[in-house]
Amino acid sequence: MNAASAADTHFGFRTVPLGEKQRMVDEVFHSVARRYDLMNDLMSMGLHRVWKDLLVSRIRPPRSARPFALLDVAGGTGDVSFRTVEAGGAGTRATVADINGGMLAVGRERAAGLGLADRVEFVEANAEELPFPDRSFDATSIAFGIRNVPRMDKALAEMRRVLKPGGRCFVLEFSRVDVPVLDAIYDTYSFKLIPGMGRMVTGDAESYQYLVESIRRFPPPEAFAEMMRAAGLKRVDYTPLTGGIVALHSGVRI
């Protein structure tokens, strides 16, 4: 068997050509877009709400009318952006950048229903080539999306580029469970139950099999912290949450 080339990457546990991963990821999220938020509730037993609230508390949008701009990358359905503008004052705005039009369509519908269409903008964009000027945002975030980007290093560099000096970049992502016994339970739950749950709720088990595998392929926290440093971010740190099921990473543009 030939070794993977530099032009290869991972799609779950499979090795695929780098240029093919984005198309394959797009197909996953087109398939699950309409039930994505419901599946997040079911898969995490509601914990994703707690994790996202913690992320927003770290973003710290001002409660005043002072202008504050968040860019949420791969945030298609708008969850983090809605929470941020609701936590902030009249000057807080958010931009959702996502490559998947199906996810963005769901996000726009949700924004209209929540009365937030004037405070949250939705832009179809590739995380590796963000269509925004340098130094445009006070904070950038990506929640459970960085592992789906073919070239994570490029996405991190872009998230840093569009930050204003002193702005913070946040990455909320699944991590490595570090609690004995919990790790075995988590593995069983992930591989045995989540794909079946996906089949029942969305009619698509394969997409959720990929999502579970992609979590296991994601670098451990310190290795990912090094990637953030290599992208030019400073004061990089991370906080394990819920026994290491997820980690909240952050860095600053100096």
| Domain boundary assignment for the chain | 8-252
Q: Does 127 count as an annotated binding residue?
A: yes
| H or E, element range at 172 | strand 163-174
Q: What is the CA radius of gyration of the chain?
A: 17
Residue 98, annotated as binding a ligand = yes
- Per-residue model confidence (pLDDT) at position 75: 93
Q: What pLDDT is attached to residue 10? A: 57
Cα separation, 30 vs 33, whole angstroms? 5
Per-residue pLDDT, 195: 65
Q: Tokens 């994505």 — which residue?
A: 36
Is 139:70 a contact under the CB 8 Å cutoff? yes
Q: Say if residue 77 carries a ligand binding annotation.
A: yes
121-179 pLDDT, tens digit each = 999 999 999 999 999 999 999 999 998 898 999 999 999 999 999 999 999 998 888 77
Averaged pLDDT for residues 49-72? 97
- Report in angstroms the alpha-carbon separations of 234 from 93, 160, 184, 229, 251: 25, 10, 35, 6, 5
Q: Yes or no: is domain 8-252 CATH 3.30.360.10?
A: no
Q: Please tell me the pTM assigned to this model.
A: 0.83
C-beta of residue 201 within 8 angstroms of C-beta of residue 35: yes
Number of alpha helices (DSSP H) and beta strands (DSSP E) in the chain: 10, 9
